[in-house]
Amino acid sequence: MQEALLNPAVRDALSGIRQADILVGIPSYNNARTIGRVVRAVNAGLAKYFPEQRCVIVNSDGGSTDGTPEVVLESQIQDYRTILVKHPLYPIHRITTPYHGIPGKGSAFRTIFRVAEELQVKACAVLDSDLRSITPEWVELLVSPVLSGEFDYVAPYYLRHKFDGTITNSIVHPLTRALYGKRIRQPIGGDFGFSGELASLYLQKDVWMSDVARFGIDIWMTTTAICEGFRICQAFLGAKVHDPKDPGSDLSAMMMQVVGSVFSLMETYHGYWAKIQGSEIVPLFGFEFEVGVDPIPVNVERMIAHFRQGLSDLGDIWAQLIEPENMSALVHLNTSSAEAFRFPDELWVKVIYDLAIAYHRRTISGEHIVRSMTPLYLGRVASFVTENMTASALDVESKIEGLCLCFEEHKPYLLGRW
What is the maximum alpha-carbon separation in the chain? 68
- Whether residue 352 sits in one domain with residue 369: yes
Side chain identity, residue 365: S
- Whether residue 258 sits in one domain with residue 113: no
Q: How many domains does the chain have?
A: 2
For residue 161, name the pLDDT band (cuts at 50, 70, 90).
Answer: confident
- Whether residue 313 sits in one domain with residue 185: no
Query: Which has the higher per-residue pLDDT, 72 or 176?
Result: 176
- Whether residue 73 sits in one domain with residue 32: yes
Contact predicate 387/345, CB 8 Å: no
* pLDDT one-digit tens code per residue, 229-286: 999 999 999 988 765 454 454 565 667 778 999 999 999 999 999 999 999 999 999 8
User: What is the distance between the alpha carbons of residues 45 and 24, in angstroms, rounded to a whole number?
Assistant: 10
* pLDDT of res. 265: 96
* pLDDT one-digit tens code per residue, 303-321: 999 999 999 999 999 999 9
Mean pLDDT score of the chain: 89
User: What is the distance between the alpha carbons of residues 315 and 334, in angstroms, rounded to a whole number?
Assistant: 12
pTM of the model: 0.91
User: What is the distance between the alpha carbons of residues 272 and 259, in angstroms, rounded to a whole number?
Assistant: 19
Q: Compute the average pLDDT of residues 331-339.
A: 90
Reported as type and span, the H/E element at residue 76 is: none
* pLDDT of res. 290: 67
User: What is the distance between the alpha carbons of residues 258 and 217, in angstroms, rounded to a whole number?
Assistant: 8
- Whether residue 203 sits in one domain with residue 150: yes
Contact partners, residue 401, CB within 8 Å, separation at least 6: none
- Whether residue 212 sits in one domain with residue 167: no
Res. 112: pLDDT tops 90: yes
- Whether residue 233 sits in one domain with residue 248: no
User: What is the distance between the alpha carbons of residues 111 and 61, in angstroms, rounded to a whole number?
Assistant: 10
Q: Which of 196, 221, 242 is the last residue of a domain?
A: 242
Please report, for the domain that includes residue 223, its CATH number: 3.90.550.10
Contact partners, residue 300, CB within 8 Å, separation at least 6: 338, 382, 385, 386
> Range of 205's domain?
3-157+180-242
Pairing of strands 284-285, 232-239: parallel
Res. 79: pLDDT tops 70: no
Q: Which of 202, 226, 242 is the last residue of a domain?
A: 242
- Whether residue 102 sits in one domain with residue 184: yes
Lowest mean pLDDT among 8-17, 89-98, 211-220, 357-366: 89-98
User: What is the distance between the alpha carbons of residues 68 and 251, in angstroms, rounded to a whole number?
Assistant: 26
- Whether residue 171 sits in one domain with residue 79: no
Q: Compute the average pLDDT of residues 125-136.
A: 92
Count other C-beta atoms under 10 Å from residue 136's C-beta.
18
User: What is the distance between the alpha carbons of residues 347 and 410, in angstroms, rounded to a whole number?
Assistant: 10
- Whether residue 189 sits in one domain with residue 318: no
- Whether residue 205 sits in one domain with residue 130: yes
User: What is the distance between the alpha carbons of residues 101 and 310, in angstroms, rounded to a whole number?
Assistant: 35
